[in-house]
Amino acid sequence: MANWFSKLKEWAASIFYKSSNLEAATATEDLEVTPSLDISRRPGINCPECKTRLTVSIQNLINYEPVICHNCGLELIVDEEKSRSSIESLRKLQHGLDEAAKVRQQGQL
């Protein structure tokens, strides 16, 4: 079980990079250290600059929305090229969750 969590943590950390370093990261392929993740009830990551907890939803990710730290203003952007297959998997997951919610709602009518 712990192995699954560590793989999820590694994957989630790999899809973010700092927008201020986009040109440098793209030019040199030497990306910043990825933010750390903690398993919690509140999905998200800790800001790599100030460690403030940032809420990140599946919708944020599948819509390639930047995540902005409300404490220090750091903007994290999903690397679309590297994350394409992961984002597609999240879209499928969200579709399945939406379908399950519809079925659940129909069962309550």
The ranges assigned to domains in the chain are: 2-108
Beta-ladder partners of 68: 75
Handedness of CA 84, 85, 89, 90 (dihedral sign): negative
Q: What is the reported pTM?
A: 0.53
Question: What does the alpha-carbon distance between residue 1 and residue 6 come to, in Å, rounded to a whole number?
Answer: 9
- Regions of the chain with pLDDT less than 70: 1-9, 11-41, 108-109
**Residue that is written with structure tokens 């409300």 in the block:** 70
Predicted local distance difference test score (pLDDT) of residue 25: 47
| pLDDT for 106 | 86
- What integer pLDDT is reported at residue 104 of this predicted model? 87
